[in-house]
Structure 1
């Protein structure tokens, strides 16, 4: 069946896919800082100038890879949330799915949640895809209720929490949104520590630790 592309468009799409595959291989072996368009051109057996017909520079390629990673992770999370279950089970499913994806593709997890890439600043076009991931966690626990605050929430933080709630179409109060953001940050932080080997010698494997943490966060969210 025709995909609606002309032969030229099809060839370009195939070359873009090959470029991104080779870039992902570079990420897996050396990290984003080592990403090189010239090295990719050599792998494709083309002159280095030809690759710039696809990407003007390294940053544009990284941006494409970042958007792809966010979107792929979001789709993985959404698939895990398709089953009809209660809010607590949905939250746990989302957390487990995120760890599954991160362990399977640590280089892509590091690309979007790891250390900043020297000289690279993510453009605004990455925001929509980036927001899809926490949106899955907000959707997984729509009835979250945070415990009473032990200290007041300041005016600026309250404003920021309101903006965040609106972005995720949530009518939760500031304390609950703060608990949701904290829980998401906890999950990302746990995975970052695990993937960087910080649990070796203490929590190895970290399955039980991770399970305990996500149960604890579910309690904190009142699920």
Structure 2
């Protein structure tokens, strides 16, 4: 029997599904449009109707990963108003998603793909969704802010602060931007270290405790 015709939307989702599977099995180096075509049951030239190049597939996978992560986290933090509780919940939701999707986490926060430059006009929006929550938590008083004379030297530069406030559209002071950036760095580092096995094999409880410890240093 002839194969039913698929809609453009169905084909686009199938391209992403194949790309995610290739990413999980072979990493970015294993992404292949020829393999995508084979799995979709189309001739190699036919796949270009749905994805123009390997770089285009990487961009779509980045958009998809950022959006999937943000959707999962925002579902968990919805309705939580206390800023420290919201930030803790956000951190553990990110860890849960990262452990379930290690290849997609690596695409977002791992080593850059050689020769590939993500188009900011497509990836910045999805990529900044969670960062905005982090800075908003700082503006709401979740983190310790640098205030002593010793900490002044460690504050971020005015251009960095201005860019963060402008891009994230959150009203935050320079100390709050510094505090949020410190906490975000600790959060990404703790999750990535667990996902990439830098701590060795960890039990789920140990991984959660290490993340909590990394975050607790920064919470007010």
TM-score class normalised by the smaller sequence: 0.7 to 0.9
Tell me, yes or no, if the aligned pair for 2:62 and 2:107 is still in contact at 8 Å: yes
CA drift at 1:44: 1.6
Residue 200 (1) aligns with residue 200 (2)? yes
Tell me, yes or no, if the aligned pair for 1:90 and 1:141 is still in contact at 8 Å: no
Structure 1 segment 4-83 matched on structure 2, within 5 A: 11-83=7-79
CA drift at 1:195: 0.8
Q: Which residue in 2 is equivalent to 1:128?
A: 125
Quick one: distance in 2 between partners of 1:186 and 1:156? 16
Structure 1 segment 104-183 matched on structure 2, within 5 A: 104-124=100-120, 125-144=122-141, 145-149=144-148, 150-153=150-153, 157-183=157-183
SS at match of 1:70: helix
CA drift at 1:100: 0.8
Tell me, yes or no, if the aligned pair for 2:156 and 2:178 is still in contact at 8 Å: no
Quick one: distance in 2 between partners of 1:43 and 1:130? 29
Superposed CA offset, 1:48-98 (max 9, x none): 000011111000111011011111111112111113341111110110111
Q: Which residue in 2 is equivalent to 1:90?
A: 86
- After TM superposition, the score normalised by the length of structure 1 is 0.86
Q: Which residue in 2 is equivalent to 1:3?
A: none
Q: Provide structure 2 residue ranges, at least 5 long, that are not aligned to the other structure.
A: none
Q: Provide structure 1 residue ranges, at least 5 long, that are not aligned to the other structure.
A: 1-6
SS at match of 2:51: coil
CA RMSD, 1 decimal? 2.2
CA drift at 1:186: 1.2
Alignment: residue pair count? 211
Quick one: distance in 2 between partners of 1:45 and 1:111? 26
Superposed CA offset, 1:11-55 (max 9, x none): 111111111101100000111121000011111221100001111
SS at match of 1:206: helix
Residue 215 (1) aligns with residue 213 (2)? no
Q: Quick one: structure 1 residues 155 and 142, their matched pair in 2 at CA, closer, same or farther if it must change by over 3 Å?
A: closer
